[in-house]
Amino acid sequence: MQAQEAVEGLREEILRLKSERDAVILAHNYQVPQVQDVADFVGDSLGLARRAAETDSGRILFCGVHFMAETASIVSPDKRVLIPDPEAGCSLSSSITAGELREWKGRHPGAAAVGYVNTTADVKAELDYCCTSSNAVDVVNAIPGDREILFLPDMFLGSYVARVTGRKNIRVWAGECHVHAGITPEDVTSKIRSMPGAQFLIHPECSCTTPMLDAAAAGAYGGAGTAAGGMRVLSTEGMMRHAASAAQGSRFVVATETGILYRMRRQNPGKTFAPASEEAECKYMKMITPEKVRDSLLHDRHEVRVPPATASKARLAIRRMLEIG
Stretch 167-186 residues interacting with ligand SF4 (CB under 6 A): 177, 179-180
Instruction: Determine the interface stretch with ligand SF4 among 107-115, 127-135, 238-246, 278-286 (rule: CB under 6 A).
Output: 278-286
DSSP class of residue 286 equals: G
CB 36 within 8 A of CB 305: no
Least distance in angstroms from the C-beta of 111 to ligand SF4: 24
Number of H helices, E strands in the chain: 15, 12
Least distance between ligand SF4 and beta carbon 48 (Å): 12
308's enclosing H/E stretch is helix 308-323
Whole-number minimum distance, CB 228 to ligand SF4, in Å?
A: 26
Task: Give the one entry of ligand 13P, ligand SF4, none that residue 139 binds, where binding means its C-beta sits below a cut-off of 5 to 8 angstroms depending on kind.
Answer: none
The HSE-up count of residue 288 (CA atoms within 13 Å, CB side) is 34
176 binds, among ligand 13P, ligand SF4, none (CB under 5 to 8 A by kind): none
When CB distances are held under 5 to 8 angstroms depending on the partner's kind, the choice from ligand SF4, ligand 13P, none that residue 91 binds is: ligand SF4
Beta-bridge partner residues of 26: 41, 62
* Residue 247 to residue 266: CA distance in whole angstroms: 16
In this chain, which of 79, 150, 257, 315 binds ligand SF4, going by CB under 6 A? 257
Alpha helices (runs of H) in 21-126, residue ranges in sequence order: 33-36, 45-54, 66-75, 98-107, 121-124
Closest to ligand 13P by CB, 128 or 205: 205
- Taking CB under 6 A as the rule, does residue 48 contact ligand SF4? no
The answer to whether 118 contacts ligand SF4 (rule: CB under 6 A) is: yes
Q: Does 92 bind ligand SF4 (CB under 6 A)?
A: yes
Cβ atoms 287, 293 nearer than 8 A: no
Judged by beta carbon, residue 21 or residue 205, the one nearer ligand 13P is 205
Chain residues that interact with ligand 13P, rule: CB under 6 A: 29, 44-45, 118, 132-133, 177, 205, 235-236, 257
In angstroms, what is the minimal distance from the CB of 120 to ligand SF4?
12
Nearer to ligand 13P, 67 or 221 (CB): 67
Residues whose CB is less than 8 angstroms from the CB of residue 240 and which lie 6 or more positions away in sequence, other chains included: 29, 260, 263, 264, 267
CA distance 311 to 69: 12
Site for ligand SF4 in 120-139 (CB under 6 A): none
* C-alpha to C-alpha distance for 66 and 306, rounded to whole angstroms: 11
Q: Which of 17, 152 has the CB closer to ligand 13P? A: 152
Least Å distance between CB 123 and ligand 13P? 15
Our CB check for ligand 13P shows the closer of 118 and 226 to be 118
3-class secondary-structure state, position 312: helix
For the CB of residue 278, give the shortest distance to ligand SF4 in the complex, in Å.
15
Residue 284 near which of ligand 13P, ligand SF4, none (CB within 5-8 Å, type-dependent): ligand SF4
Sheet holding 80-82, edge to edge: 41-43, 23-28, 59-63, 80-82
CA separation for the pair 234, 9 (Å, rounded): 36
65 forms part of the interface with ligand SF4 (CB under 6 A): yes
Residue 140 binds ligand SF4, judged by CB under 6 A: no
* DSSP secondary structure string for all residues of 156-182: HHHHHHHHHH--S-EEE--B--HHHHT
Query: Which residues contribute to the site for ligand SF4 (CB under 6 A)?
Result: 65, 90-92, 118, 177, 179-180, 257, 282, 284-285
